[in-house]
Structure 1
Amino acid sequence: MGVRGERVVVIGGTAGIGLAVAEEAGREGARVVVASRRRESVDAALERLPQDAEGRVLDAGDESAVRDFFAGLGGYDHLVYTAGEALLLESVAESDLGRARGFLETRLWGAYMAVKYGAGSIREGGSVVLTTGTAGRRPLPGTSVAAALCGAMESLTRALALELAPLRVNAVAPGVVRTRLWRELGEEERAGLFDSVAGSLPVGRIGEPADVAEAYLYLLRGGYSTGSTVVVDGGTVLV
């Protein structure tokens, strides 16, 4: 029921939640492959991971690159997809449709392509874990694109769980987590947001990547979960 000795591929695994998943999987004895767009990010992640970890440069929004990545990867046991651009927070009236499409390109279509080209190499008993969020369940002003994405990812997870069975497909929905995805906000605005959210949550703090990584590992280990979305949000959807 563990991941020791298994090969875990984490696309978006060089920072934030993805890196935390890779680190935890490595601590549990998995052989980890991390991939992201920038070579420097890959190299920095490998400094923090076990010596047998592998790092690949991959633009998750480039179909030919994704296809070639999986064609050269060989067999593995689990696919985790956490790749994504900085969070897009803007009103419908002020939205830039080009940016909105780009936001969906990596997070939604990137995940779709990873499953399309990567599922066939996953060994028996393996799984896929995708990433969504709480905006689809509790949207706020300025989160229309994020809410649309989250709803789509949850629906995609359920559909893939049926289409690809017995391969298990699940998702994790983090709340507000202290990662670089909030980098579009200024430092003062970001700190104010984190303080405000922390004060409103039942747990009294915002999430850290390691908090959320536990949910991914649970889904990798658990052989009886599929089509599920695990919410790890400190109680965001309750308040």
Structure 2
Amino acid sequence: MSLRGQRVVVVGGTSGIGFAVADTAVRDGAAVVVASRRQESVDAALRRLPAGAEGQPLDATDETAMRAFFERIGAFDHLVYTAGESLLMASVAESDLAQARRFLDTRLWGAYAAVKYAAPVIREGGSVVLTTGTAGRRPLPGTSVAASLCGAMESLTRALALELAPLRVNAVSPGVVRTDLWREMSEEDRAGLFESSAATLPVGRAGTPQDVAEAYLYLMRGGYSTGSVVTVDGGGLLV
């Protein structure tokens, strides 16, 4: 149950959960390619990742760029998609529809395009692991866009698992995790979020990217999971 000798592409792999997945996969023996919109982000990630990683810039909202990216990459074993801007939180009345569409362009349609152009070059026995979130099953006020995305990603995962079989397609659903996705909140609000989560979660703390990365590796390694959504939320859906 190792990724040794396999090739993993992580779109969104230069920060947060994506970086943790890339780092863990390299340490497990995989050759990893990380992709992100900005070249400087790719360069910074490669300086931190162990030997065995490479990277390229990629705008996940540009279908032409996505197609060209996978044509350059060639055959590989596992696609992980974690790309996304900071979480969009606003009431329906105060929402900016253009901003909401951009949010979905990266997280939903970017994932869709990545699968479309990656699937033909994923080797036999390979997999796709997408990213959703617990807002789809436990939304809060102000999370209508995020909740809509999460519901869509879970449905997309199940549909692709059937359509692309025997290629395995799964998703990971993180809860509150200490990443840059919360950067639009003030430092005080972020600290309050993590503190309140720690107080209510059964595990007694907010999650880290490394906590969640293990779920992605499990889904890549395990040959009997497809159409599954693995929740890693410290027990948040229970309380």
Correspondence for 1:37: 37
Q: CA deviation at 1:235?
A: 0.9
Q: CA deviation at 1:135?
A: 0.2
Q: Distance in 1 between matches of 2:232 and 2:174?
A: 5
1:230 aligned counterpart, secondary structure: strand
Correspondence for 1:64: 64
Residue 116 (1) aligns with residue 106 (2): no
Correspondence for 1:183: 183
1:117 aligned counterpart, secondary structure: helix
Per-residue displacement from partner, 1:49-103 (whole Å, max 9, x unpaired)? 2222111000011111101101111100000000001000111111110111111
Residue 15 (1) aligns with residue 15 (2): yes
Correspondence for 2:102: 102
Unaligned runs of 5+ in 1: none
Range with bigger deviation, 168-177 or 191-200: 191-200
Q: Distance in 2 between matches of 1:60 and 1:118?
A: 13
8 Å CA contact retained: 2:174, 2:233:
yes
Q: Distance in 1 between matches of 2:7 and 2:90?
A: 39
The count of residues paired between Structure 1 and Structure 2 equals 239
Moved over 6 A (4+): none
Q: CA deviation at 1:24?
A: 0.4
Q: Distance in 1 between matches of 2:236 and 2:89?
A: 17
Q: Distance in 2 between matches of 1:183 and 1:152?
A: 24
Correspondence for 1:170: 170
The TM-score, its normalising length taken from structure 1, stands at 0.99
1:71-90 aligned at under 5 Å gives the runs 71-90=71-90
Residue 136 (1) aligns with residue 136 (2): yes
Unaligned runs of 5+ in 2: none
State the Cα RMSD in Å.
Answer: 0.6
2:78 aligned counterpart, secondary structure: strand
Q: Distance in 1 between matches of 2:236 and 2:139?
A: 11
Q: Distance in 2 between matches of 1:227 and 1:40?
A: 35
1:5 aligned counterpart, secondary structure: coil
8 Å CA contact retained: 2:30, 2:52:
no
Q: Distance in 1 between matches of 2:8 and 2:134?
A: 25
8 Å CA contact retained: 2:12, 2:81:
yes
8 Å CA contact retained: 2:175, 2:233:
yes
Q: Distance in 2 between matches of 1:157 and 1:20?
A: 22
The TM-score, its normalising length taken from structure 2, stands at 0.99
Q: CA deviation at 1:122?
A: 0.2
Q: Distance in 2 between matches of 1:176 and 1:61?
A: 25
Per-residue displacement from partner, 1:186-227 (whole Å, max 9, x unpaired)? 111111111112111111111000000000000000000000
